[in-house]
Amino acid sequence: MKNTYDVIVIGLGIMGAAALWRVAAKCDRALGIDASGPTHCYGSSQGSSRIFRRAYWEGNKYLPLLQHADLLWQELEHLLQKQIIFRTRGIFIGPQSSRVVAGSIETARQGRIEHEIWTPSETKNVFPAFSIPEGMQTVHEPGAYAISAQVARLGMLDEALRRGATTEFGNTVVDIKNQGAEVLVTTRNSRSYRARAVVVTTGPWIASELMPELYGLLEPRRVPIYWFKPKIDSEKLFSRKRFPVFLYECPNGSILYGMPSIASDEPGVKIGFHNRQQSFARPDWKSFAVQDSSVKEITEAVEALFPKLERSPIKEKNCFYTMSPDESFLIGKSEALKSTYFASACSGHGFKFAPAIGDALANVAVGQQPFVSLSSFSAHRFNSTSRVF
Ligand SMILES: Cc1cc2nc3c(=O)[nH]c(=O)nc-3n(C[C@H](O)[C@H](O)[C@H](O)COP(=O)(O)OP(=O)(O)OC[C@H]3O[C@@H](n4cnc5c(N)ncnc54)[C@H](O)[C@@H]3O)c2cc1C
């Protein structure tokens, strides 16, 4: 019947694109709806590159998902016959007892992930662009890589279409409600769609009227990101063959992250603070200007760590983190709405997990068990009413 689907995915950032890709193979009628175009500069998935690493300082509860995601990134690359994985290697630097160093070593040991521990001079021998003060330690993860973010997201959508799914862009969902055994989805242009199951992946917009049970649990935050150009004659030091994806925890606890350029539309080394310069912002506020004080702060940090980068960024812009209180994910099943599943609040580190989270959402949406348990990411931990799958 027209406008009746097995599964509707609302929000086609990386989480929704991954869910649609995975669900399209499991049912006859899948629909993906997004308020914006296939590419846009709002929300969280914009831009050309993201980091993938498995020596995860954030904890070993992420390991099964990381393992599954790693396989699915490779599967996607194989399907697309396009490079989406850039094997740059990864280094995670900080004082010995810092979260980044101690946490990365612990997860690497528990997960039997190949890694080495280096001094600052050993680090400089391999990656000469870095100027690391004595007393710091480096965890080297040879298997870490950069993901070509835009190519991967558009590739997932192409794969979903190839498997028979439909997509609608420029169409905002304004209401989801139960209707008999089904779920009724209504868009701003007054169109209605029915589905047996709905997946909500609206990123920083998720704690809206669509999912009121998530009110108060999530905070969208604007966070700037910068690109720095190598000084003349130093370009090779920052090429993706000689410059890894990295995290750097300063002695004061600030964490910088960065990666080499992997796409011609984003030249320069991409660098940002992971846990600083964040401010609450509604995702509809389309202000892209970065404060001068933030530019000054990152310039000082970058100058100390990378003396061969030009002092001022060549470009800066704002992106969105959707933060949960413990900086982990929020994935589950709605209590109020029948057969409605959600995934968001990826707290600024969710991209790398997207194929595995999308796969789990697709499985539960068609009544199958997820391949990897997501119970650690349930909203139950905050006494929310929404359920674990
Ligand atoms: C600067 C920056 C750097 C990052 N670096 C990394 C990294 O290196 N590694 C990593 O793993 N993660 C990283 N992350 C985190 C990662 O990018 C996010 O976790 C991920 O992109 C979240 O994707 P999403 O699909 O949940 O949300 P989004 O990408 O925001 O997608 C939500 C989509 O929903 C649509 N939408 C919203 N409301 C509606 C509605 N009512 N109806 C229809 N559509 C709607 C929007 O248009 C949007 O397309 C980074 C994030 C930022 C901001």
Calculate how far, in angstroms, residue 238's C-alpha sits from the geometric centre of ligand 1.
27
In this predicted structure, what is the pLDDT of residue 289? 86
Q: By C-alpha distance, which of 341, 347, 304 is closest to 324?
A: 347
Contact 11 CB / ligand 1 (< 6 Å) = yes
**Ligand 1 within 6 A of 225 CB?**
yes
Encode pLDDT of 134-155 as tens digits: 999 999 999 999 999 999 999 9
pLDDT at 103: 98
Quick check: CB of 104 below 6 Å from ligand 1?
Answer: no
The reply to whether ligand 1 has any atom less than 6 angstroms from the CB of 187 is no
Is the confidence at residue 388, as pLDDT, over 80?
A: no
339-379 residue pLDDT tens: 999 998 789 999 999 999 999 999 999 999 999 999 999 98
Determine whether the shortest distance from the Cβ of 172 to ligand 1 is under 6 A: yes
Q: Is the CB of 323 under 6 A from ligand 1?
A: no
The 3-state secondary structure of the chain, one letter per residue = CCCEEEEEEECCCHHHHHHHHHHHCCCCCEEEEECCCCCCCCCCCCCCEEEECCCCCCCHHHHHHHHHHHHHHHHHHHHHCCCCEECCCEEEEEECCCHHHHHHHHHHHHCCCCCEEECHHHHHHHCCCCCCCCCEEEEEECCCEEEEHHHHHHHHHHHHHHCCCEEEECCCEEEEEEECCEEEEEECCCCEEEEEEEEECCHHHCCCCCCHHHCCCCEEEEEEEEEECECCCCHHHHCCCCCCEEEEECCCCCEEEEECCCCCCCCCEEEEECCCCCEECCCCCCCCCCCHHHHHHHHHHHHHHCCCECCCCCEEEEEEEEECCCCCCEEEECCCCCCEEEEECCCCCCHHHHHHHHHHHHHHHCCCCCCCCCHHHCHHHHCCCCECC
Residue 319 in contact with ligand 1 by CB distance below 6 A: yes
- The pLDDT of residue 383 is 77
Span 11-65, pLDDT tens digits: 999 999 999 999 999 999 999 999 999 998 888 999 999 999 999 999 999 999 9
Does 271 contact ligand 1 (Cβ within 6 A)? no
Measured from the Cα of 49, ligand 1's closest atom is: 8
Protein residue with its CA nearest to atom 21 in ligand 1: 45
Q: From the CB of 272, is ligand 1 less than 6 Å away? A: yes
d(CA 184, CA 193): 6
Task: Evaluate whether the domain defined by 87-145+219-323 bears CATH number 3.40.50.1370.
Answer: no
The rounded distance, in Å, linking the Cα atoms of 316 and 226 is 4
If one residue of 205, 218, 259 were mutated to test the ligand 1 pocket, choosing by the most ligand atoms within 8 A of its CB, it would be 205
Measured at the CA of 354, the angle between CA 185 and CA 70, to 5 degrees, comes to 150
Rounded to whole angstroms, the Cα distance separating 204 from 220 reads: 5
Q: How far is the CA of 223 from the centre of ligand 1 (A)?
A: 12
Q: Which atom of ligand 1 is nearest to the CA of 202?
A: 34
Tell me how far the alpha carbon of residue 13 lies from the centroid of ligand 1, in angstroms: 5
CATH architecture of 4-46+150-217+326-382: 3-Layer(bba) Sandwich (3.50)
Q: What is the mean pLDDT of the chain?
A: 94
Give 217-269 pLDDT, tens digit per residue.
899 999 999 999 999 999 999 999 999 999 999 999 999 999 999 999 999 99
Q: Is the CB of 245 inside a 6 Å radius of any atom of ligand 1?
A: no
**Minimum-distance ligand 1 atom for the alpha carbon of 352:** 11
Domains of the chain, by residue range, sit at 4-46+150-217+326-382, 87-145+219-323
Buried b (16+ CB within 10 A) or exposed e, 307-327: ebbbeebeebebbbbbbbeee
Contact 275, 254 (CB under 8 A): yes
**Contact 283 CB / ligand 1 (< 6 Å):** no
Residue 235 alpha carbon to ligand 1 centre in Å: 31
